[in-house]
Structure 1
Amino acid sequence: MGCAHGWFIEAAEKQGFKVLGIEPDVNVYNATAQRGLPVRNGFFPQVLSSSEKFDVIVFNDVFEHILDVADILNKCRSHLNPDGQLILNLPSSTGIFYRISKGLAGRGFKGFFERLWQKGLPSPHLHYFNTRNLSKLLQDNGFEVISTGSLTTLRAKGLFTRISYAGNHSLPIRLLIYILLIMVVPFLYLMPSDIIYLISKKVGD
């Protein structure tokens, strides 16, 4: 869900999967569709017919933007085949950036923490989960967690674009932020990751 420019569905398609992407932003959708990728404009599950079923449903950096997560999990169950899998990839409240920014916010420096919550952006974060509470949420809503893990918090590739997109800082400030983050990237491998994933399986029904 929220397939954006379609890089994930493109990679999955190359691995032999029959794929379908869903993207609510009409401009992003148009650009992705023009690349010939199978994508629909709108929101899950409204763009699906009630009879459409899938073996795997993936939310990449989307689940934390959804208000009623219990309802959306129920919708996922209705669109998954028996033993179908749900994959969630999202920010973590146990990550090093989250912990540092929360500590700074408690001392009056709220900018970094508000940036993590994407305050002021078109689609802010509504939740921050960790592996433990998200596992419980899944289990309480008809899923069995079969695998968990973490992903690299930051990569040099595309970092400056992300910095430029999130805010109205001047070019020198953006360059300074970029340089500082590039300097800490090697140390992040030793710290708790700010990105987690959980793979779960539909149980029952």
Structure 2
Amino acid sequence: MDYQNKPQDYYSHVRSEMLAFLPDGSKTILDVGCADGSFAFQVKKISGAEVWGIEYMEEEAKKAAEKLDRVFAGPCEGHIDNLPENYFDVIFFNDVLEHLQDPYAVLKAIKSKLSDTGVIISSIPNIRYHRVLVPLLFRKQFEYQAEGVMDKTHLRFFTGSSIRKMYEDQGYEIVEHKGI
């Protein structure tokens, strides 16, 4: 995948809108696809929690390691077994699952890493977004881009209902599902 040629601020974007979903009292947090650690560092500052990250890109993982408590570099699939069982109060997947070959298997494998009250918070682009559908319907083509819903590095595309189904099929209870 061509993750090297992303816009300059792609790996340092802080998804501040995702902070609203962070449960009070979260003490252990994992950010899968943490990039340079900017978002996870904000979570750490706000919550005072122990924050870990997993980042595919080696250079970005090095930057994240300067900000977070522990960071693994490489594909997340290769690090799930190294994570402690029943440990994380929150696992974030901010715009990550659509980049994975088998997000279903990742969600299934990582479930045992959540504490008894642990939650997954994710952001997943919806292919039914009007700016995607209009070109598809009227020009009859996918118009891939450097980032966004039609990011050329996306391996999977989801709708709202397929996102729900993916989580439910892996045994998760959906507490909240909304567009942001």
Common topology (TM > 0.5): yes
- 1:31 lines up with 2:77 in the alignment: no
In the TM superposition, residue 50 of structure 1 has moved relative to its aligned partner by 5.1
**Which of residues 158, 162, 168 is equivalent to 1:139?**
168
The CA distance in 2 between the partners of 1:78 and 1:85, in whole Å, is 11
Report which of the two structures shows the higher radius of gyration computed on alpha carbons: 1
Q: Could you say which residue in structure 2 is the equivalent of 1:74? A: 108
Q: Could you say which residue in structure 2 is the equivalent of 1:22? A: 54
**Which of residues 40, 46, 52 is equivalent to 2:72?**
40
Unaligned runs of 5+ in 1: 152-205
In the TM superposition, residue 2 of structure 1 has moved relative to its aligned partner by 1.0
Structure 2 CA distance for partners of 1:28 and 1:58, relative to 1, 3 Å? same
The CA distance in 2 between the partners of 1:21 and 1:50, in whole Å, is 11
Q: Could you say which residue in structure 1 is the equivalent of 2:84? A: 51
Q: Percent identity?
A: 29
In the TM superposition, residue 128 of structure 1 has moved relative to its aligned partner by 1.5
Structure 2 CA distance for partners of 1:32 and 1:70, relative to 1, 3 Å? closer
In the TM superposition, residue 88 of structure 1 has moved relative to its aligned partner by 1.3
The CA distance in 1 between the partners of 2:91 and 2:139, in whole Å, is 35
**Which of residues 28, 36, 47 is equivalent to 1:5?**
36
Q: Could you say which residue in structure 2 is the equivalent of 1:148? A: 177
The CA distance in 1 between the partners of 2:68 and 2:84, in whole Å, is 22
**Which of residues 138, 144, 162 is equivalent to 1:114?**
144
State whether residues 117 and 126 of structure 1, in contact with CA within 8 Å, keep that contact through their aligned partners in structure 2.
no
In the comparison of the two structures, how many residue pairs are matched? 142
- 1:86 lines up with 2:86 in the alignment: no
State whether residues 126 and 158 of structure 2, in contact with CA within 8 Å, keep that contact through their aligned partners in structure 1.
yes
Q: Which of structures 1 and 2 has the larger relative contact order (alpha carbons within 8 angstroms, sep 6+)?
A: 1
Normalising by structure 1, we get a TM-score of: 0.62
In the TM superposition, residue 104 of structure 1 has moved relative to its aligned partner by 4.2
The CA distance in 1 between the partners of 2:124 and 2:34, in whole Å, is 14
The CA distance in 2 between the partners of 1:8 and 1:61, in whole Å, is 12
Q: Please state whether the residue corresponding to 1:93 is helix, strand or coil.
A: coil
Q: Which stretches of structure 1, 4 residues or longer, exceed 6 Å deviation after superposition?
A: none
In the TM superposition, residue 31 of structure 1 has moved relative to its aligned partner by 2.5
State whether residues 99 and 155 of structure 2, in contact with CA within 8 Å, keep that contact through their aligned partners in structure 1.
yes
CA RMSD between the two structures: 2.0
What letter matches 2:167 in structure 1?
A: L
Normalising by structure 2, we get a TM-score of: 0.70
The CA distance in 1 between the partners of 2:54 and 2:155, in whole Å, is 20
